[in-house]
Structure 1
């Protein structure tokens, strides 16, 4: 008989203890030790300990009823051994719906709940282990990209130095070609002035009897006629007037002349340069141009130098543009180890319904419709850091204006993965876009410190 009483007492004590600590986490059990009175956790009231978990709410914070649904603001703790523990509102206790995977919230209801914590925990463990494998692989790939980034950075720096040296060489060559072109232009101008002035000395230097004769002999028959003189020669004082027949005969020494007679008549008059001059190739008054071999040579030299100068100027401009673009690229922030450098000059696409989105890191973001209309969603702006990672988000600003709004912009969030790919695009607010961009360089070693939850 005494044995049965002891057993009953042990059972009753176990029952009372179980009733009183149900729905409490291990960190709160110190407040529920068996004693004469119970102090509400918010300190608002002291009640007899028998009133704890008696299905009547005495404390304003609901701390006296952790295992019942009596208090509107109470919380019930699901231990969920094998899975993740969590709190549920106390109103869900014994409501016939299993909220805790260990079924502890339905200890006094008609619901027949199965303990599913182990299966849930197993799936969670498999998911976390998969994430860890992805992280390990991502970190391995990231290290490769860091090494490639360092090499690429050095290559870019070497390329910049080479371009700067080319620019210096072209600068020297450019100055030389400018000097040579100026010399050629000056020689051409001096030759032209000498012919226009009709200076006998300079004409002797830059021209000849035969060259002037050939210039006046339009039909190249070996003689100069009155008509040819009227067509090519004009008075200096009245350049626009055409010579009369008598004036032409007087200058020519007859109606027609050959080279010998030309030298003793019209040639001498032209050399003096005080009465008449030779018109240009179009018949208007001008200088001794067109057929003079020295002037042709000077003009050809000036043209040649101008062409060469233009080529050197274009090459110099192109090299300087390349230097400027390379300097801009190298001035960007590619991460502490240049791990993001490989993204430069790359573009990634994603089709969402009728639109194709293109992300070109460190450049721009665009949206293209099936009709072929392309819209800028922003140009590269900056990194926006989070407390844990300064390279977690990219901001692209000043895209095309939005209808009845400001400019379009895009925020790109970088996530860890084993491949570099644009995963999703959303427009949570008008003309404000967000993108999920997955890449190994977004993987952070600090994530490994989290590990798998100890309660799994």
Structure 2
């Protein structure tokens, strides 16, 4: 009796092992539950469950033989616990070559396969961890560049607003200086016409007085100060000496500044007489209002003074507008979704290839220089990138044209 029980146990264990379904993933196990019949996964045929993994291909999709090499279209699933699972063609099952790192494909062959999945998994995990560290470092650097780019963008926007405000202020000054220059030119023309006509009364009109007053009022604040008088007026008998403060105060009627109304009735008469003081010329050498008509000289100096001031303001206005235009062009460039590439602006990179040195300036020019020093422009950065990536030949600032 005991012998029969042992034989039955051995037979049952052999039967259970023979019915073990190999070569399937956990997601397909529901199709291979022990039952009376088996439905091919493609639905093409129903067959007795005993015909699964019987080393004979019954289903067209090979699903009845996942653990044997019977089906030409079959696939064997390597579980590879500890490493990456994957499929192999069923023709490689029990062919004497270890294809699965867990040796599950050679369960009934002469090959002596070792389970290497853990070692392979360790190397794989170490590689992935290294990749993740690299990715984390890249993301950290990108975030840093984004923060710097946002700050730079805001700084450039603030700089643009400041320049635009300066341009508006200069525009107002420019219009004022143009008005003053036109007035000075008109006064000079009137004085010249009056001299030609011999009309001395017209020469002494307030317009001429105003032009001389403006000549002395160098900062154009509407009053003549001691410093301005010392800079523009000299003594007749001692042309090289600068007026003392007391002398200047005396000429200003005892005060430290003089308005146009008071100038018309006091200092104007002293200057036109030319017996004690005189106005210095524009080159700094003392010269009298006498000789050549003093009114004409004063009007001429005032006209030249206004022309010089107007030119300075025009140059400043043009310079600011050029800076605004350049900054606006830079702000129209695509520096990335979060301005992460803004740091590349105004930077250049060099690469030497044989006898040529290439200089690439992102968002600017790309040049090539040979050993003889001859430099050739290869085009604009955006155009080269555009043509390389999209094969388009039309290039616009910041990207490719249509």
Q: What range is the shorter-chain TM-score in? A: 0.5 to 0.7
Deviation at 1:116, TM superposition (A): 2.3
The CA RMSD measured in Å over matched residues stands at: 3.9
Does 341-350 or 158-167 show the bigger shift?
A: 341-350
Q: Is the 8 A contact 1:77 1:85 kept in 2?
A: yes
Cα 1:185–1:116, aligned 2, differ >3 Å: closer, same or farther? farther
Structural mapping, 1:225-244, within 5 Å = none
Matched, 1:407 2:393: yes
Q: Conserved in 1, the CA contact under 8 Å of 2:181 and 2:310?
A: yes
Quote the offset at 1:334 in angstroms: 5.6
**Does the 8 A contact of 2:23 with 2:66 survive in 1?**
yes
Distance 2:347 2:45 in 1: 66
SS in structure 1 of the partner of residue 47 of structure 2? strand
Greater per-residue strand proportion: 1
CA deviation after TM superposition for structure 1 residue 330, in Å: 4.6
* Other-structure match for 2:386: 397
Structure-2 separation of matches of 1:321 and 1:398: 30
Q: Which runs of 5+ in 2 are unaligned?
A: 205-291, 396-402
Question: Cα–Cα, structure 1 residues 399 and 12, in superposed 2: closer, same or farther, change >3 Å?
Answer: closer
**C-alpha contact (below 8 Å) 1:376/1:408 kept by paired residues:** no
Q: Offset of 1:356 from its aligned partner?
A: 4.3
CA distance in 2, matches of 1:299, 1:72: 108
**CA 310–90 in structure 1, closer or farther in 2 if over 3 Å, else same:** farther
2:83/2:117 contact within 8 Å kept: yes
Question: How many residue pairs end up in the alignment?
Answer: 302
Equivalent-residue separation in structure 1 for 2:298 and 2:112 (angstroms): 110
Instruction: Say whether the 8 Å CA contact 2:80–2:102 is kept in structure 1.
Output: yes
Instruction: Output aligned runs, 1:10-159, within 5 Å.
Output: 10-18=12-20, 21-159=21-159
Distance in 2 (CA, whole Å) between partners of 1:34 and 1:111 is 30
Question: What is the match of residue 376 of structure 1?
Answer: 379
Contact 2:360 2:381 in 1 (8 A): no
Counterpart position of 1:200? 198
Listed one character per residue, the Cα deviations across residues 55-101 of structure 1 (whole Å, up to 9, x for unaligned) are 33222222112223333332221111111111223333344443322
Segment drifting more, 78-87 vs 182-191: 182-191
Say if 1:80 and 1:101, in contact at 8 Å, map to a contact too.
Answer: yes
Counterparts of 1:124 and 1:194, CA distance in 2 = 101
* Structure 1 residue 174: Cα displacement: 1.1
TM-score of the pair, normalised by structure 2: 0.61
The Cα offsets for residues 138-165 of structure 1, whole Å up to 9 and x where unpaired, read as 4444444444444434433432332222
Counterparts in 2 of 1:55 and 1:378: CA distance versus 1, 3 Å: farther
State the alpha-carbon separation in 2 of the partners of residues 318 and 86 from structure 1: 68
Could you tell me how far apart the structure 2 residues matched to 1:17 and 1:40 are? 17
The one of the two structures with greater contact order (alpha-carbon pairs below 8 A, sep at least 6) is 1
- TM-score normalised by structure 1 residue count: 0.55
1:174-213 Cα offsets, whole Å, 9 max, x none, are 1112112222333444455567xx423379959xxxxxxx
